[in-house]
Chains A and B, each alone.
Chain A
Amino acid sequence: MIDPKTTNALLYLDGISVSFDGFKALNKLSFVIEPGEMRAIIGPNGAGKTTMMDIVTGKTRPDSGEVFFEQGRYDLSELDETEIAELGIGRKFQKPTVFEMHTVEDNLRLALKGDRTARATLTWRETREEQTRINEIFGIIRLGAVRSRVAGSLSHGQKQWLEIGMLLAQDPKLLLVDEPVAGMTDVETHQTAELLKEIATVKTVVVVEHDMTFVRELGVKVTCLHEGSVLAEGTIDQVSQNDRVVEVYLGR
């Protein structure tokens, strides 16, 4: 075991176990994410993908094991959800949850990191920095042309990109993205891979996804979970040729 205080990892999980009503959702799960890395997490139903994200974001407490953030500086098992979000861990859930009745631009504005106390909010005026930041994000998520439309009128893919943009607006160090391409068209799926690759040049990203075309396109290290622990890790080709992985996907 490595001493978590000396790790270089941005995210460090070691021996995490969680049970719900006797069901072991995570079983001594260990892996590390290096700063600047993009990682794809795959695995069949019940493999523990969502529980793993719940642990990292503080939604669920581990029964045992260690979870550290930023080179071992913060013990996430001692912090609550808000504190973890404020440390710079942003999570995007599977279903797009944007403010449908607000414009695309206002959605980003609402997500920007900033003072959210009552007084600051009441007397808020947009600064030049904020406008610059919003424009930067539009550059990444490619929605500048629809910035004044209401978010509810966007396509499914565009809503997902907007929500990724809202995540970026919080300026997180680590982005956790859950099944971003489910329900997307082929073109949107391809564009999402491009978009995440671009984000990964400046942020650390963990993507959970079932869509193997998309995972291949990301071209990053893949971790395959099964029954709450890591079954295989490596390139998508290494993982997909792993006999144990094949067996698991054939339901054996």
Chain B
Amino acid sequence: MLEVNAINLHYGAAQALRGITMKAEPGKVTCVLGRNGVGKTSLLDALMGQHAVSSGTIVWEGNDITALKPADRARRGIAYVPQGREIFPLLTVEENLETGFAPLKRDERSIPDDVFSLFPVLNSMLRRRGGDLSGGQQQQLAIGRALVMRPRLLLLDEPTEGIQPSIIKDIGRAISYLRNLGQIAIILVEQYLDFAQELGDQFLVMDRGSVIYASSRADLDEAALKRAMAI
């Protein structure tokens, strides 16, 4: 379980997150929605430790990880699929996947079968360079690389952005498969509402660095959700 308590985050003097409180549970997809520029990526950066919070706490599996560096969070099972994918263009697909070994113990350093059963295209392209893959294939590679780490918390930043519909479906299937394993807490940042609505168990909408709407799937008021996201 991830528990985020009243975190604030600043870039210099500018405040990007204002008192965000949220939870993410294993076996659930927590969707973070909102227009561009409202702080969604800043929230993921805070959770991964890419940017220090100015106050508040982040508790993961009962331990306060607020002060930990990203690498130490990765060792505790937190994996991040950043917006824009950030795969290594000059490494092969296989080498890209192997970069996910970094936080693992020596005897755990293998690529789980799930990666190739979820994204068969990666298996057929193991020797290709990452940079030669299409955008959708790169997105699958980035998710695959995160899964190599055997994450218990998976952070996904707009995995559908600029991706063709058929691959969006594959990614959706992969996310629900991972959710149904019951072991992984998934935080999905999205602007594509229909995609998020299909997958989400919990919904948060952000605006101006704060959470302005939160609901479980069961209590979801679709009109209120849309109002919070639109202008």
Contacts and interface: CB of A to CB of B under 8 A. Distances in A.
Interface of A: 42, 44-46, 154-156, 159, 179, 182-185, 210-213, 215, 236, 239-240, 245-246, 249-252
B15 interface: yes
Contacts, number: 68
8 contacts: A210-B36, A212-B35, A240-B231, A249-B230, A250-B229, A251-B190, A251-B192, A251-B195
Given A44-B35, A211-B208, A213-B208, 4 more contacts: A183-B13, A250-B191, A250-B226, A251-B194
Interface of B: 10-16, 35-38, 160-162, 190-195, 207-208, 226, 229-231
A22 to B, nearest CB: 12
Contact of A183 (B16, B160, B161, B195): B16
A215 B194 CA distance: 27
Contact of B231 (A46, A154, A249): A249
A250 B160 CA distance: 13
A179 to B, nearest CB: 7
Contacts of A239: 231
Contacts of A179: 37
Contacts of B37: 179, 182, 210-211
B231 A245 contact: yes
A55 to B, nearest CB: 21
Contacts of A212: 35, 207, 231
Given A44-B36, A240-B230, A250-B230, A155 B13 contact: yes
Contacts of B13: 154-156, 159, 183
A248 to B, nearest CB: 9
Contacts of B194: 250-252
B15 A183 contact: yes
Nearest to A213: B208
A156 B229 contact: no
A52 to B, nearest CB: 16
A215 B15 CA distance: 19
A181 to B, nearest CB: 9
B38 A210 contact: yes
Contacts of B11: 183
